[in-house]
Amino acid sequence: MEQHQLRNIFGQFASGVTVITCRNADGQPHGATVTAFTAVSLEPRLCQITLTRKSKACGYLSGAPFAVNILAADQVDTAMHFAGRPQRTEPRWVEGATAPVLVGAAATISCTPWREYDGGDHLIFIGEIVAAESNGKDPLLFYRSTFHDLGSPSAAIAWSCSQDDPHSGWFDAKASFTPLHPQPVG
């Protein structure tokens, strides 16, 4: 399978857009637009980011604190700026709990380094979350190589109170399931 074909298949999965921020070798704020971000664990509080080995930020993150800036829907210019297309208006920085953070993000997660793993042509960084905040703004999304906003909810039935709702308890290892239509054995 060709890389281009696989990239298009990966693009079928909509993701949020983040800018990972840290300090460069000179101590200056540095950021990189990243869509490979996920929550890992609530206890301990962990999240994961994945960066191509070719990125400058990848070289600054080994053993270093960082922040995950979950971009708001109105921050396409910020995403482009940190993806290598500088904008006329520079993004604004403030000091975060572990690293510089961007003003106006929908949420910010400040991390200390926890683990680092080989991910082929990428490196996988796991951060321990020491501070997090959200301002309630809708996030910026990325789907099929294009930025999108959240839009209207697409389901009339809310996730809340479903059996797999994280607020009412995910299925644990002891859960058992009965098929809706039992299949004959043999």
When mean pLDDT is compared across 60-69, 105-114, 140-149, the lowest value belongs to 140-149
Residue 157 DSSP label: S
* Domains identified in the chain and CATH numbers: 3-148 (2.30.110.10)
Does pTM top 0.75 for this prediction? yes
Query: What's the mean pLDDT in 165-178?
Result: 58
pLDDT band at 178 (very low <50, low <70, confident <90, very high): low
Rounded to whole angstroms, how far apart are CA atoms 67 and 100? 7
Rounded to whole angstroms, how far apart are CA atoms 80 and 72? 13
Tell me the per-residue pLDDT of 22-53, one tens digit each, with 9 for 90 and over.
Answer: 999 999 999 999 999 999 999 999 999 999 99
- Greatest mean pLDDT among 46-50, 82-86, 118-122, 156-160 lies in 46-50
Distance of CA 36 to the CA centre of its chain: 6
Rounded to whole angstroms, how far apart are CA atoms 64 and 169? 33
Residues 31, 56: contact at Cβ < 8 Å? no
Edge to edge, the sheet with strand 141-143 lists 15-16, 141-143, 146-148
Amino acid at 123: L
